[in-house]
Structure 1
Amino acid sequence: MRLLALVRAALVCASLPLAGQAQAAFPCDELWGERNAVYAEAGYCFRTARGIRAFGNANCRYDDIRDVPLSARDRAKVADIVREERRNGCGE
């Protein structure tokens, strides 16, 4: 239930257009939220203002994303999302 709330919060935050931001960025924002919700649920400590704004760091335990313990299922989910982000040209 907590993960669903985190995803919803991230999607709301990420979907709010910034001044001058194209609506085409929405799929990238949604993917960003889904990917980072996995890390937030696992205890990652976000460094960017966007990550902290969307997920906070109240219960974080891991400063290095490589140290975040993810299940095989979560790793596969993150890998799928990253592939989709690349296909959409996110972060370029």
Structure 2
Amino acid sequence: MRPLALIGLVPVVAVLPLATPARADFPCDELWGERNAVYAEAGYCFRTARGIRAFGNANCRYDDIRDVPLSARDRAKVGEIVRQERSNGCRE
């Protein structure tokens, strides 16, 4: 069996996204969604029409965002997203 000639072929490199959603190339809407998904998973009851449309309130348990129990990992994730939102000039 003869090896295939690779002359003239350009290697293709796949670029994988970062593990965290808080990247400079994420638009504000995506950062908002990622941040609020963490709160929705933890049982936050959204008050805004946007939040309710996106996540609903069917299984919510916490009216005050300060009462939502987040793991250290989720708190860190939200903190990074908030920093990125600020860096990107996103508005709440």
TM-score (norm 1): 0.71
Kindly report structure 1 stretches of 4+ aligned residues shifted beyond 6 Å. none
RMSD over aligned CA atoms reads: 1.2
Q: Radius of gyration: which is bigger?
A: 2
| CA-CA distance at 1:39 after TM superposition | 0.0
- The total of aligned residue pairs comes to 67
Identity %, equivalent residues: 93
List gaps (5 residues or longer) in structure 2: 1-25
d(CA) in 2 for partners of 1:29 and 1:88?
11
d(CA) in 2 for partners of 1:54 and 1:65?
17
Deviations 1:26-58 (A, max 9, x none): 700000000000000000000000000000000
Greater relative CO (CA pairs within 8 A, separation 6+) = 2
TM-score (norm 2): 0.71
d(CA) in 2 for partners of 1:36 and 1:83?
14
- 1:37 is matched with which residue? 37
List gaps (5 residues or longer) in structure 1: 1-25
Give the helix-richer structure, 1 or 2. Answer: 1
| CA-CA distance at 1:83 after TM superposition | 0.2
